[in-house]
Amino acid sequence: YIYNSYREKMKDSIENKNNTTAENILRIYMDSEPDSKLDKQVKLWLISDFHKEEKEAILQHIWNILSVTDDSGKKRIWDAIQRKTGLKQPKKQILPGKIIWQVSAAILPFILFALGLWFYNNYNKTGQKTEVIAEVIRTTIETMEEIHHLILHDGTEVWLNKNSSFTYGDDRQVHLTGEAFFKVAHHPSEKFVLQTNDIIITVLGTNFNLKIYPEEEIRVTLYEGSLELAIADTTVMMTFGDEWVYNRNQSSCEMNRTSKSGPTWNRETIMYENVPLHSVFKDLERKYGVQIEAYDPAILNDTLTLKFENDIQLSEILFLIARVNGKFDYLIDDKTIRIKQTNN
């Protein structure tokens, strides 16, 4: 384990013999050369029960120096962290006595990152990055080939899918292009407003997924609570289990029902439930960086219900979809997938 693995190094490096074990481990870590094995061991140690009280004391000190002066802002950040970590809430006053371990500017983002990261068991399979937002300046995050998990200053959690753009600031007004799943923290006095180029979603506190990539259909799925959706001069009220789909080409919409408890693109197992193939293929293009061409555009309107592992190979997914659909075969030509009529 990390303490035993690096015991000899600690003996040579620790200057202050009064430091706690946790302080020494983190001091050694910050003084070490980049090492992926050590990074992994430190993160495992952070999420374990070893030296828990010492780690909580360090967290207390970090809490006191957070660059968030507003107590309500700090509380919102901590509420989100506490739900996932189970750590005790820091006291409001500064820790009494001498602070032995001085937190450097470098250690703060690492600890915040680790606190947000440790709850997620499927990190390796889904490739997610977790970030706790302590600063509340207007910021835009662009995701490319990774899924990002954010904990905003108000306690709201956001999972950003690949090839998405998300803007947030010091209020509850955000903007999205792409896809994201929201767990909106409930604040009765302040609505959460999600703006896009096409629609505006207003909620107080709820769980929903918005898929709004350019030139694709818009899909809003509500998993908890209710929300108000505005498009052009129309307002739509959605309740638990509703899924609203808007076809840009036809300027038409429909309301469906879903039995799913949440999206699956950010989980270990992905599930499609009566989803058109054109939407499924777009997801595969983003996920695997390929282009899918269909011999007959009409087949893209066929729907698919299928469940598979997130880390499955593209060839395996195509095989499953082709067998379930039964109307096409496929040819993989480097980064191009050609959907052709079946020979059966």
CA 125 – CA 80 distance, rounded (Å): 23
The answer on pLDDT for 60 being more than 80 is: no
The predicted structure's pLDDT at residue 273: 86
pLDDT of residue 165: 95
Give the pLDDT of residue 161.
Answer: 93
139-150 pLDDT per residue, tens:
899 998 888 888
The residue among 147 and 73 whose pLDDT is bigger is 147
Confidence (pLDDT) at 280:
93
Alpha helices by DSSP H, 32-151: 36-47, 52-65, 71-85, 107-117, 123-126
Supply the pTM of this predicted model.
0.61
User: Angle, nearest 10°, between helix axes 52-65 and 107-117?
Assistant: 120
Residue 271 pLDDT exceeds 80? yes
pLDDT of residue 315: 92
Q: Could you write out the DSSP letters of every residue in 1-62?
A: -HHHHTHHHHHHH---TTS-HHHHHHHHHHHSPP-HHHHHHHHHHHHSSTTHHHHHHHHHHH
Pairing of strands 128-132, 291-294: unpaired
What is the C-alpha to C-alpha distance for residues 279 and 265, in angstroms, rounded to an integer? 13
Mean pLDDT throughout 268-296?
A: 90
Look over the chain and give the mean of its residue pLDDT values, rounded to a whole number: 75
pLDDT, one tens digit per residue, over 86-122 is 445 444 443 333 333 333 334 444 454 444 444 333 3
Q: What is the pLDDT of residue 239?
A: 94
Q: Is the pLDDT of residue 3 over 60?
A: no
Confidence band, pLDDT 50/70/90 cuts, at residue 19: low
- In this prediction, residues 223-250 reach a mean pLDDT of 93
